[in-house]
Amino acid sequence: MWGIIASIVAIIVGSLTTAVILNWDEIREEVNNWLHEQGLNNTVLMDAWVEISLQVDAVVKKVKVQTAITGVHTVSESTYNLDEIVEEDVKAALQRNGYYRKDIMDLLS
């Protein structure tokens, strides 16, 4: 009985320490909010992407955009532990290269 309870608690705690770092709705909202704050709209976007890099003690996610007006700008930056990341393709790329990049222009159009 206690073994089952301990297993359930472990599953719950494990799910609380994971993070979906590529939440596309959240990323779209971050970019749209940044554009709005700058007095810009989607038509000025030249490029947009997510960069995730493995640092010495953390994983850093940056959402970046490039416009003709502002150049390259970091819209948001978040820090995670590697064991928090749910996305297996991101984990594999970080472990292989220390870096992951995803173009998100199609997400914003």
What contacts 76, CB < 8 A, 6 or more positions away? 30, 34, 62, 63
Strand (E) or helix (H) holding 60: strand 59-67
Mean pLDDT by 10-residue block, N- to C-terminus, for the chain (109 residues)?
48 54 93 93 91 93 94 96 92 94 90
For position 2, what pLDDT does the model report?
Answer: 53
For position 87, what pLDDT does the model report?
Answer: 93
Residue 40 token pair: 């810009």
Distance CA 51, CA 104 (A): 11
